[in-house]
Structure 1
Amino acid sequence: MATRKHRWPKTQDGIEDAALHILEWLAEQGVNATLRVDADRLAEDRPAWTFAASGGPLPHGIRADGATPDQCLSMALAELRTAGINVPY
């Protein structure tokens, strides 16, 4: 098993603290969304976190990848805004 440096970084009021609220809010808007981590990409030191969303008011599916949950969700929120969905975070 690969070991990660700084595996559990603590950020003050980081976006990952709101991840479940964001997913729930999206579901309430009719958007199917998921946040996942890929063990193979993690072991290969590639961006292992993926956010994907589709349906509801989204004109097309979106995907965002990142090395950390915070980075992934930040990129996902930017993609959602571009698609016309302003998540109240």
Structure 2
Amino acid sequence: MFDHGPEGASVDVARIMESLAEQGITVLFKADAERMREGVKPWTFVASGAPVHEDLLVRTDGVSVEACLDVCLPRLREFGLVIPE
């Protein structure tokens, strides 16, 4: 868990990933060592719905886990997925 958002609310990334997997979504978080050394958005978040939700693909690169979640979680909610708080 880590602090996230202006209120410093705690977010459990593993819980979010498990919830998405239970809904048929494959989720990947990656930290790229080379990009981290270069100081270029080392974190990648990818969520894919194939084969259950074939039209779903959400991906972003960010400077932090929090930055990736800020972009991706609202997009996943737009697909009707339930994201635990």
Give the TM-score of the pair, scaled to structure 2.
Answer: 0.76
Of 45, 64, 67, the residue aligned with 2:63 is 67
Runs of 4+ residues over 4 Å off in structure 1: none
- Could you give the per-residue CA deviations for residues 13-50 of structure 1, whole angstroms, max 9, x where no partner exists? 343xx100000000000100011111111111111111
Q: 1:21 to 1:58 in 2, by over 3 A?
A: farther
Supply the RMSD in Å over aligned alpha carbons: 1.9
**Which structure has more strand as a fraction of its residues?**
2
Structure 1 equivalent of residue 37 of structure 2: 43
Count of residues paired in the alignment: 78
Structure 1 equivalent of residue 48 of structure 2: 54
Note if 1:21 corresponds to 2:9. no
